[in-house]
Amino acid sequence: MSASSFRNVALIAHVDHGKTTLVDAMLSSTGVFASHEAKVDRVMDSNDQERERGITILAKAASVEWQGTRINLVDTPGHADFGGEVERALAMVDGVLLLVDAAEGPMPQTRYVLSKALALHLPAVVVVNKVDRPDSRIDEVVDEIYELFFDLDASEAHIEFPIISTVAREGRAMVGVGIPEPEGDLAPLLDAILETIPAHTGNPTAPLQALVTNLDASDYLGRLAIGRVIEGTMRAGEQVALCHSNEEEPPLKRKLTSLLGFEGLGRIDVQERAAGDLFVLAGFPEVEIGDTIADPTNPEPLPRLIVDEPVLRMTFGVNTSPLSGRDGKFLTSRQIRERLDREVLGNVSIRIGATSSPEIIEVAGRGELQLAVLIESMRREGFELQVSRPEVIIREVDGKLHEPLERAVVDVPDDYVGTVTQAAAPRKGRVTDLRPGDTGRTIVTLEAPARGLLGFRSLLMTTTRGTALVHQHHAGWMPWAGEMPHRTGGAMTSDRKGTSTGFALDNLQKRGELFIGPSADVYEGMIIGEASRPDEMTVNPTKGKQLTNIRTHSTDEAIKLKPPKTHTLETAIEWIADDELVEVTPTAIRLRKRFLTESDRKREKTAAKGR
């Protein structure tokens, strides 16, 4: 197939604007879902966490045929924490579909991914989705889209984009602004892709150069390299060279045993892939993201993919609590390290490093959401581990300590603007922009140290009753901002192993907020609640009621316990202090002290003062 016979397109949009639903509709309208097949909603969000969180985490590809042209669709994440996925996806395409909700308009994450696309000079087809919503405001939204392009310093060529109005859920589209006919289909959108997105300009007869942008694994074929042919033609059975990141090493030369391409949602064996097309190949277990597959006679590597550096780090270690090993399958440091090594191979924005202990591994990433998703994936796979509170990565600039600066764009109902500014103030956040909208919502832009925004997303979700939309991204470096307020209360720590009782918890709930209920397994050093005072409190949650032969109405009164505060993974890693850890197993999230016994904690505190 010649380069003019296919197009590579990335879909970019804010979370929940219908990006993945639109892919489903395109697959249906071009016959990928046959009449006898059961249609799966949000088929591109195949990861469990993607479906639960309603976000796209991994960039994925599918393919449809239209008017004799194959359109390769790459679905990209919208969160900045998964920017590594975005950057790799954009390296595979020649244009983008910018999807915007007809009621909500361009949102914070739309801006982030679009800025990446414009930096690569990729043309856009603008899709205004959900135009049938009763609260849609199509004309205003189109004006806001133009403003967004102007804000991002788009060139005149970029601003001359076609506008397609769609109802993706029903597979209807029309050119321009309006509501598609009831009997309409997606032909106007597919035609606009062919007219606007250029064919790749690479030369299929030149020496081979192909960039690896993603990795996958197959039980039968081993490690798979996914990417795009930039120049030349890749053919099955021919010898190719793998150019590593280490330029001092000679390229690996090997026969291409298996070459696959995308068709619909699956992959099929193909004989060749020409310049501009996407490929999946097997036979190179050493391949890494950013490597070049080149002509063996003249192996010329392509520039490697560059992604934003990690700004947060935390430690992953073996679970050493007395309750370890109860429900996990993978418990050892070797198994944890192997799992993290696999993650790094497929995720360019994660870094791992050694620590002073062989049982503890340092993991650095783009944000707390990215790290929390990794931990959640591991616990679902059967891993048990304990993790520390995230801390920012510090660098020295002109002899002074600097820390990462984050920009947060918060979209909230007008009633909650004060809530956002009050939440940001103690975190040393500074409001840089305030834009009231016409829909009863305001966009608040603020800048704060990255460590100040730890837990900021979950706090806003609670205080705004889930109505806030928060998007954070790295905004450079700033001088160290000094000490940052953390939590107000000290840890309420169990002094022994046993089972919690309602009688003990009834007394303890008067002294703080509990994290456990009755009949919970506890151990010495486990944190069971937050005290109302800032000092640590060592308590006995297993104490039973003394049995006597005296009975009074007051002593026999029924115990009334408040519901305990249940920590999620995100709130747990944000709540803990430096001397505390989160114990993560497939069935439980527990908080604990780094040193379990009180005597060990005192000894460590004394040693820390002497250092």
pLDDT at 386 over 90: yes
- Compute CA 120 distance to the chain's CA centroid, rounded to the nearest angstrom: 22
Tokens 């928060």 belong to residue: 470
- Look at residues 130, 119, 126 and name the one whose alpha carbon lies nearest to residue 155: 119
Cα gap 240→547, rounded to integer Å: 81
What pLDDT, on a 0 to 100 scale, did the predictor assign at position 300?
A: 84
509 touches 518 (CB < 8 A)? no
Q: Dump pLDDT digits (tens) for 108-122.
A: 667 767 887 888 888
Q: Dump pLDDT digits (tens) for 542-551.
A: 888 766 655 5
Q: What mean pLDDT comes out for the span 421-444? A: 82
pLDDT at 398 over 70: yes
How far is the first Cα of the chain from the last one, in angstroms, to the nearest whole number?
68
Cα gap 262→92, rounded to integer Å: 13
Report, in angstroms and rounded to the nearest whole number, the Rg of the chain calculated over CA atoms: 27
Helix (H) or strand (E) holding 373: helix 368-380
Cα–Cα distances (Å) from 431 to 175, 412, 422, 437, 448, in that order, read 39, 14, 11, 17, 9
What pLDDT, on a 0 to 100 scale, did the predictor assign at position 362?
A: 92
Q: How confident is the model at residue 581 (pLDDT cuts 50, 70, 90)?
A: very high
Q: What mean pLDDT comes out for the span 218-239? A: 81
Q: What mean pLDDT comes out for the span 513-534? A: 89
Q: What mean pLDDT comes out for the span 495-520? A: 88
Helix (H) or strand (E) holding 457: helix 456-463
Q: Dump pLDDT digits (tens) for 402-416.
A: 888 888 888 888 888
Q: How confident is the model at residue 306 (pLDDT cuts 50, 70, 90)?
A: low
What pLDDT, on a 0 to 100 scale, did the predictor assign at position 32?
A: 55
pLDDT at 358 over 60: yes
Strand-pairing partners, residue 282, are 224, 258
- Look at residues 236, 317, 250, 251 and name the one whose alpha carbon lies nearest to residue 282: 236
Q: How confident is the model at residue 438 (pLDDT cuts 50, 70, 90)?
A: low
Strand-pairing partners, residue 363, are 314, 352
Q: How confident is the model at residue 234 (pLDDT cuts 50, 70, 90)?
A: confident
Q: How confident is the model at residue 87 (pLDDT cuts 50, 70, 90)?
A: low
Q: How confident is the model at residue 4 (pLDDT cuts 50, 70, 90)?
A: low
Cα gap 11→599, rounded to integer Å: 56
Question: How many Cα atoms sit within 13 Å of 248 on the Cβ side?
Answer: 0
- β-pairing, 491-494 vs 537-539, is parallel
Cα gap 61→223, rounded to integer Å: 17
Segments of 219-311 assigned E as strands: 222-231, 233-235, 239-243, 252-255, 258-263, 266-269, 272-274, 278-282, 292-294
- Compute CA 57 distance to the chain's CA centroid, rounded to the nearest angstrom: 5
353 touches 362 (CB < 8 A)? yes
Cα gap 170→191, rounded to integer Å: 18
pLDDT at 439 over 70: no
What pLDDT, on a 0 to 100 scale, did the predictor assign at position 555?
A: 52
H-type alpha helices, 38-179? 48-53, 83-90, 108-119, 138-151, 156-159
What pLDDT, on a 0 to 100 scale, did the predictor assign at position 81?
A: 41
What pLDDT, on a 0 to 100 scale, did the predictor assign at position 74?
A: 78
Percent of the chain with pLDDT over 90: 5
Cα gap 12→83, rounded to integer Å: 12
- Look at residues 404, 399, 445, 397 and name the one whose alpha carbon lies nearest to residue 421: 445
pLDDT at 44 over 70: no
Give the domains, in start order, of the chain with CATH numbers. Answer: 3-196 (3.40.50.300), 209-294 (2.40.30.10), 395-479 (3.30.70.240)
Which carries the bigger pLDDT value, residue 20 or residue 411?
411
What pLDDT, on a 0 to 100 scale, did the predictor assign at position 3?
A: 45
Q: How confident is the model at residue 316 (pLDDT cuts 50, 70, 90)?
A: very high
Residue 391 has φ and ψ, to the nearest 5°, of: -130, 155
Q: Could you tell me the pTM of the whole model?
A: 0.68
Tokens 């249609």 belong to residue: 39
Cα gap 581→572, rounded to integer Å: 9
What pLDDT, on a 0 to 100 scale, did the predictor assign at position 37?
A: 39
Residues near 63 by beta carbon (within 8 Å), at least 6 away in sequence: 70, 71, 72, 73, 261, 262, 263, 264
What pLDDT, on a 0 to 100 scale, did the predictor assign at position 311?
A: 82
Q: What mean pLDDT comes out for the span 387-407? A: 87
Q: What mean pLDDT comes out for the span 469-474? A: 74
pLDDT mean across residues, the chain: 80
Percent of the chain with pLDDT over 70: 84
371 touches 390 (CB < 8 A)? yes
| Residue 564 structure tokens | 């305990």
pLDDT at 77 over 70: no
- Look at residues 295, 281, 272, 256 and name the one whose alpha carbon lies nearest to residue 5: 272
The listed range with the strongest mean pLDDT (47-51, 245-249, 373-377) is: 373-377
Q: What mean pLDDT comes out for the span 177-191? A: 85
What pLDDT, on a 0 to 100 scale, did the predictor assign at position 91?
A: 78
Tokens 């050093």 belong to residue: 525
Neighbours of 207 (CB within 10 A): 15
Q: What is the dihedral of CA 35, 39, 44, 46, to 10 degrees?
A: -130
